[in-house]
Amino acid sequence: MSTDNTTILQGKKILLGVSGSIAAYKAATLTRLLVKAGAEVKVVMTPAAADFITPLTLATLSKNEVPLHISDHNSWNNHVMLGRWADVMLIAPASANTIAKMAQGLCDNLLLATYLSATCPVFFAPAMDEDMWHHPATRHNVEKLLSYGHRQLPVVSGELASGLFGEGRMAEPEQIIAYLQQHFLQTNPDTTKPLAGKLAIVTAGPTIEHIDPVRYISNHSSGKMGIAIAETLADAGAQVKLVLGPTHLGTTHPGVETIPVQSAADMLQQVVAAFPQATVVVAAAAVADYRPSQAADKKIKKGEAQLSIALEKTTDILRTLGDTKGPQQLLVGFSLETNNEKEYALKKLREKHLDLIVMNSLADAGAGFNYDTNKVTLFDRNGQERSFPLKSKQAVAQDIVSAIIELQHA
């Protein structure tokens, strides 16, 4: 039987940590939604969080006492018990200060003491201004938490407390609920879905190769096709890692973990690291074939009438995977051409040991970069050819994933 999403959180023990951020007001809605979904909720707060929302409010909504100070009655030992009690610890909002302390293992308040005692999966929902979110120190701290195996909920773009617009808003409570549901679904997967229990890697978007600190080589890929495929694979039950090059687009699908990269080398590193555990890889990214052999460390100033830049080949990600893939792994590539489309697509299919290649042409109206539509032809390893009319990229993603499922069961 298929799992009813309304019952996934029934009886689950959620430990909610609230840190000092204006987004702390969302903790009230989040607590209410968790309780409504049948979860048992306990809340710990930092003293700074109490400046934004009172412990009484969250105690009333959670139906559990909310300790605030580590010296409070029973709190000295209680943080250890709380850390062992929970099925999931969710820190929302997670301020820049709290993220930094978590990364360093500091323990100067009850929330952090409880975090260090947690034996369960930890999720954190960052909330801060855009400049703080993009600061190298914050990026380093987030990467450190991810290396601990923690899960970051995506930040949202919009109006910030500073009055500016940009990235840094905490995910909305409804999105957080969806991510928790997906976590528990993956822990107890819906085995009726065709890709349940499978890890899929999808690459999407462009890569950029730096010429100097302000210039780079790239292409027009938006990442739309790859993102649609990642979401469709997740809908089919797969756990999806989306390795996404620089683009303004993204996904909030709870079954998709986004790994942002910039260069072809970055993308190769992330894909190769995850590949041994993967069942399916869909390489939809437009990866640079060449990069400057040496990037300047300072801006190149205008001088002579002509400027020559020496280029070197990047490592071919698809060929690297194709040369090492196992018999149970499926490798899907894309072939975007301007001429001799079928000839080049079939050559790529053979030479890179692919199981499926998706061919499209820049000569077809409504296909290619930045469109919401695409027109593709699929060639599989058995020589079967299937052509489709112009469709939305979401519909094309359904066709591609259906072909993947067929090959999985062939």
Catalytic sites, residue numbers: 219
Residue from 387, 392, 278 nearest 332 by CA:
278
Q: Does 348 belong to an annotated binding site?
A: yes
State the Cα–Cα distance between residues 355 and 400, nearest whole angstrom: 12
Backbone angles phi, psi at 181, to 5 degrees: -60, -45
Q: Which residue type is seen at 4?
A: D
Q: Does 299 belong to an annotated binding site?
A: yes
Q: Does 12 belong to an annotated binding site?
A: no
**CB neighbours of residue 131 within 10 Å:** 14
Beta partners for residue 234, in sequence order: none
Q: Does 63 belong to an annotated binding site?
A: no
- Residue 16, SS3? strand
Task: Give buried/exposed letters for 328-339 (b at 16+ CB in 10 A, else e).
Answer: ebbbbbbbbbee
State the Cα–Cα distance between residues 227 and 240, nearest whole angstrom: 11
Assess contact for 171 and 155: CB atoms under 8 A. yes
State the Cα–Cα distance between residues 131 and 371, nearest whole angstrom: 31
Structure tokens at 170: 């905490």
Residue from 187, 168, 87, 68 nearest 125 by CA:
168
Assess contact for 247 and 206: CB atoms under 8 A. yes
Q: Does 352 belong to an annotated binding site?
A: yes
State the Cα–Cα distance between residues 188 and 274, nearest whole angstrom: 22
State the Cα–Cα distance between residues 398 and 236, nearest whole angstrom: 10
- E runs forming strands in 22-119: 40-45, 88-94
Angle at 138 between CA 134 and CA 141, to 5 degrees: 145
State the Cα–Cα distance between residues 122 and 188, nearest whole angstrom: 18
Q: Is 56 exposed, middle or buried (0-12, 13-18, 19+ CB in 10 A)?
A: exposed
Q: Mark the binding-site residues for CTP, compressed into ranges.
A: 289, 299, 334, 348, 352
